Amino acid sequence: MQKTVQICFALILVSFQTISAQDKPEWKQVFSKINQEALDHSRAYETLKEATETIGHRLTGSSNGKKAEEYAYNLLKSYGFTNLRYQPFEVESWSRGNLKVSIGNDTNHLVAVKSVALAHSPVTTDVSNEVVDMGNGLEEDYQASPDKVKGKIALVFLDVLPGSKAGTKSLHRSEKTAIATKWGAAGIIVINGAKGGILLTGTASVTGKLILIPAVCVSYEDGMKFKDDLKNGKLYTHIKMNNFSGLIKARNVVATIKGKTLPNEKVVVGGHLDSWDLATGAIDNGIGSFAVLDMARTFATLKLQPERTVEFVLFMGEEEGLLGSRAYVNTAIKDKSIDQIKFMLNYDMTHDPKGYNSSVDVNKALFESIGSIAHSLDSNFKNTFRAGAGLHSDNQPFMLRGVPTGGSSGNGLPNNAGPCYHADCDVFSLVDRQGMVNNVRFSAMLLYGIADAKEIPAKHLTDEETKLFLEKNKLKEPLQIAGEWRWKN
């Protein structure tokens, strides 16, 4: 027993020594240069402003989407990148057409209601059905009344309804749509959780392909009124829509800095360049993707070359089903370079970070070591650390193939921008310049530290280890709903 304890202690000591040694003395000087360069010369805010003014929205597959791809490419070229390329991929693109939703307690006297189609709804729909309240839209809501929704329109809340039992989980709108379809619904009306008459768009498809039933969003105020009306009688709706869907070509934009001593080991840092079409996507994901562009500028300006290769990727198609990041990972699987990807940093609506996060807690010592230098340069950076894993952003395809992921975190969105998520109020006036600058400088430090570390504690997981990791993080159910659980049990 004593010998076992001694061995365990020795292993812990070796692990501690390995991790604590990651804080290379030269990092302090490098991070100081990164800090000053971002403070003095960051162009993240200015280039995002220019893009929102000259391009507008950045919907994948649209002419605006193509302009955004070219804007990012040319910007990186102007920063001096020569190892720069487009990564083309073909996707089934969706864009909205016309929509009219009418609701009332008498089929002969329906009243038009403000609404917006959720992406990947059918190309053509013209249905009239009874509306039924399915609460939070979770499996348990349907199991309680298995036949209630068959052939009818499900009314579900986007998040978790006020007054729900403690511990009630929330699912993505696409997962709630998949559940409604499974239980025989003829359509789904999603109530936005944000107040103020705001409408939300986004995909209702777990696969990135067309769904079988129409899916629309109504405002919080209208939706909660419909729920009250259903307590006193029946409601009916008429949903008529037409949309566009077809194969188009899109392109990720990729800029590479070859590693100094470990060129075959790669750290990917990315953010999705695309946005929905209701506004300019300044918050989702302008503040993330244009921070990535400026991190690339910072590395190029300072001629930084860490030990490992760094790849800056501006993904397209995230909003329509992680299409660009899936294409990137699928290519890496085909050319057998997936095992070279040692870490993926994802920047999706990241703002003014106060700390770092990782999908696994084994990175805590390394990340806090990097963060301690950042804190010494600016005490407003609190050097917090959070471990955990989530879906529905460009980290997901990497994570499902065993790549550890993470990023910067610890602060909310600027100027109460949360309610404007995927909405027509996601405009540049919400953006905070200093928050973007802080994102660039602290995130560039994290990127350099991971890429330059003697060892990255988090390892690329085997297939079985990935399965156990996803189960531990309670991601099996949503992945099963999405049809992405590739294991038999």
Which structural domains are found in the chain, ordered by start?
24-83+258-481 (3.40.630.10), 96-243 (3.50.30.30)
Task: Supply the pTM of this predicted model.
Answer: 0.91
* 248 band by pLDDT with thresholds 50, 70 and 90: confident
**Residue-level pLDDT at 23:** 61
Average pLDDT, integer, range 353-378: 97
* DSSP-based three-state secondary structure for 90: strand
Residue 164 pLDDT exceeds 60:
yes
Give dist(CA 399, CA 163) in Å, integer.
34
Dihedral angle at the C-alpha atoms of 201, 350, 432, 429, nearest 10 degrees? -10
**Residue-level pLDDT at 489:** 75
Average pLDDT, integer, range 248-267: 97
**Residue-level pLDDT at 8:** 39
Model pLDDT for residues 466-483, shown as the tens digit of each residue: 999 999 999 999 999 999
Model pLDDT for residues 89-125, shown as the tens digit of each residue: 998 789 999 999 999 999 999 999 999 999 999 999 9
* 9 band by pLDDT with thresholds 50, 70 and 90: very low
Give dist(CA 212, CA 185) in Å, integer.
10
The position carrying tokens 């990175």 is 363
Q: Residue 125 half-sphere exposure, CB side, CA atoms within 13 Å?
A: 32
User: Which candidate, 280, 307, 311, places its Cα nearest to that of 295?
Assistant: 311
DSSP state letters, 342-401: EEEEE-SS--S-SEEEESSGGGHHHHHHHHHHHHHH-TTS--EEEE----SSTHHHHHTT
**Residue-level pLDDT at 2:** 38
Model pLDDT for residues 304-324, shown as the tens digit of each residue: 999 999 999 999 999 999 999
Model pLDDT for residues 214-241, shown as the tens digit of each residue: 999 999 999 999 999 999 999 999 999 9
Q: Beta strand 405-409 with 355-358: parallel, antiparallel or unpaired?
A: antiparallel
Q: Residue 259 half-sphere exposure, CB side, CA atoms within 13 Å?
A: 24
Residue 18 pLDDT exceeds 50:
no
Model pLDDT for residues 413-469, shown as the tens digit of each residue: 999 999 999 999 999 999 999 999 999 999 999 999 999 999 999 999 999 999 999
Contact call for residues 263 and 306 (beta carbons, < 8 A): no
**Residue-level pLDDT at 19:** 46
**Residue-level pLDDT at 199:** 95
Residue 6 pLDDT exceeds 90:
no
* DSSP-based three-state secondary structure for 203: strand
Q: Is residue 144 packed enough to be buried (19+ CB in 10 Å), middle (13-18) or exposed (0-12)?
A: exposed
Residue 10 pLDDT exceeds 80:
no
Give dist(CA 32, CA 27) in Å, integer.
8
Residue 33 pLDDT exceeds 60:
yes
Give the orientation angle of helix 287-302 with respect to helix 44-54, to 10 degrees.
130
**Residue-level pLDDT at 196:** 95
**Residue-level pLDDT at 4:** 36
Average pLDDT, integer, range 245-256: 95
The position carrying tokens 């530290």 is 449
Q: What is the CA radius of gyration of the chain?
A: 24
Give dist(CA 430, CA 413) in Å, integer.
9
* 345 band by pLDDT with thresholds 50, 70 and 90: very high
**Residue-level pLDDT at 93:** 81
Give dist(CA 301, CA 34) in Å, integer.
10
Give dist(CA 56, CA 66) in Å, integer.
12
User: Which candidate, 297, 310, 330, 294, places its Cα nearest to that of 453?
Assistant: 310
Give the helix/strand (H/E) hosting 405: strand 405-409
Residue 7 pLDDT exceeds 90:
no
Show the beta-strand stretches assigned E in 43-196: 84-104, 111-113, 115-117, 124-133, 153-157, 187-191
